[in-house]
Structure formats: C-alpha cells, structure tokens
Amino acid sequence: MASISIDIERVQSFLNKHQTTDRSIVLVTSGGTTVPLEKNTVRFIDNFSTGQRGAASAEYFLERNYIVLFFHRISSILPYQRHIKTIFDESQTNQTYNHDQYHKHKDSLLLIPFQTVSDYLTGLEQLCGLLKIFNRAVLVYLCAAVSDYYIPNNELTEHKIPSGQNELIIHLKPVPKLLGFVKGKYAPEAFVVSFKLETDEKILEEKCLQSAEKYNQDIIVGNMLQTRTNQVQIYERMEKQWTTINRSEGNIEQKEIEFQIIDFLCDKHRIYRENLK
C-alpha cells in the first residue's frame, strides 16, 4: 500500500489546454484516505467511503460544462466506469450510452489518485496551488472522507505489528487540519464546498456551524451516514442560510441526489463568479 504522489506536470499540461477558457473548473476530492499503522504497510485505518458521491458529482459537473480534476482514493468508484456492468452481470443493459457520455466529456476530466492521508493533504495543497490563477472560476468540492487521526511517520514501526499479543494499543494523533488553508492560503478566490458526515442527527447542524466558523468554507453540506443518498442539509456561511435538499423521487431519469446538489452549487458558484466581474 505505497503512497502516491501527484504527477504535477501532467496536471499542469491538462490545465494549460484550458487556460484561455471561461469555463468553470472544479476540484472534486473523493473516497476515503488511509492511515498506515506500519511503515511496511500491512495494516491501516480506513474511512467508510465508496467514492460514489464524488463520482456521481463529477459526472453532473461535467454535464454542467465544468472542467473536472477528480482527486480520488485509488480503487474507489470512478465517474462513468461505475455504470459499466461486470463480467458476472448477464443483464441485457445497453452500455453504449455510458461509453458515449464518457467520450463526450473525457477531454474535460482528469483522474488523479491518492492513497494515504499524507498523499491527500500534500496533493490538495499542490492542486489548489495550480488552480489559484483561475481565481473565482474555481470550485473546490471536498467530499473525500479525510482521516481525523493518524500515526506521524516518525512514530511508525518498521515491520508488521506482531500477532499473538494479549492486547494491542494504538496511539493516534490528530491529523493537521488544513481545510482552513484552502480558502485562507492555497486558493483564496476559490468557491469552497465541504461535506460533513455524522451518524448522530442531534449534532449534525452544530458540527456544520462549527466547521464553517473554523475553516471559512463558502458552503457546507451536512449529511447523515444512514440517509446520505436521500437528504442533505446545506449551509451557506455568508448568507447564514440553511437549505434542505430531499432527493426528488419523481425527477426525470431517476437521477441521484448529487444531481440536485450540483445544480444548487453551480447556481451559487455562478453568482459568486459574477459578483467580482
């Protein structure tokens, strides 16, 4: 489970192709980060996250004509690929539509993988650094499930933790919180959206408000583990305004809730861009 560095030149050359455009650009982060428990990593702590939300969101951003950097946990769910049936699926579903959609949008999509929480934090800074010059055209959409606790590199054991002990005690330190730097330093003009996932409904709203206060995102999307595919609570920091989005069952083509979330966010981002034109 080696860590993965970003190929900066590859990202830069992708962005260069779009340098003269007026299109909006979104950095989507997706999937869970890992925390190695050993240097030669056999064991690690992971976050529950299939990457479904990020992958679906990326597709809807592409439909809205965004350029998409998809910064994702390696082997998490990928845009378009997620619709392709496996060799075991013998249903007669037509796959042409998904292939066509991918080919229509592929020049606007760049896949950038990460593995560990350190990869993620380093990569986030690097990618925001490359996007900074696009100013308000940039939306940073943080739906990766970032680890809260980790073992700093200098405290990791070299080899596999031996089995057969009566108890294993793991001491974890808090992961440095870099979220505030996105707006505060890395890409100050970007429109920043982050997600907050909880399992206890009673504390969700409070957690979103605390997060907004600390990290200055423009928008926070609160969601519950159990109902995340059907409902989200959106908080706009500047407007101090809550909006609840329920997945509308009657929507055309039975699209996922991400369709409605992206619709909402693109409107807010458009207004944000226009405000400084």
With H, G, I as helix, E, B as strand and everything else as coil, classify residue 246.
Answer: strand
Q: Residues touching a copy of itself: how many (CB under 8 A)?
A: 51
The only residue of 166, 213, 253, 274 in contact with a copy of itself, by rule CB under 8 A: 166
**Residue 44 within binding range of a copy of itself, rule CB under 8 A:** yes
Q: Are 40 and 160 in contact (CB under 8 A)?
A: yes
**Residue 12 within binding range of a copy of itself, rule CB under 8 A:** no
Q: Which of residues 60-79 bind a copy of itself (CB under 8 A)?
A: 75, 78
> Could you tell me whether strands 138-142 and 191-198 are parallel, antiparallel, or unpaired per DSSP bridges?
parallel
* Residues 182-201, mask of contacts with a copy of itself (x by CB under 8 A): ---------------xxxx-
Please identify, using beta-carbon distances, which residue of 133 and 170 lies nearer to a copy of itself: 170
**Residue 226 within binding range of a copy of itself, rule CB under 8 A:** yes
Query: Which residue reads 């030669």 in tokens?
Result: 40
Alpha carbon distance 23, 65 (integer Å): 7
CA torsion 82→88→93→94, rounded to 10°? 70
Q: Are 179 and 191 in contact (CB under 8 A)?
A: no
**Residue 154 within binding range of a copy of itself, rule CB under 8 A:** no
- At a CB cut-off of 8 Å and minimum separation 6, what does 271 contact? none
The only residue of 22, 94, 174, 252 in contact with a copy of itself, by rule CB under 8 A: 174
Tell me the closest approach of the beta carbon of residue 174 to a copy of itself, in angstroms. Answer: 7
Alpha carbon distance 212, 242 (integer Å): 12
Residues that bind a copy of itself (CB under 8 A): 1, 34, 37-38, 40-48, 50, 75, 78, 80-81, 84, 86-88, 98-99, 102, 111, 145, 147-149, 159-161, 163-174, 197-200, 225-226
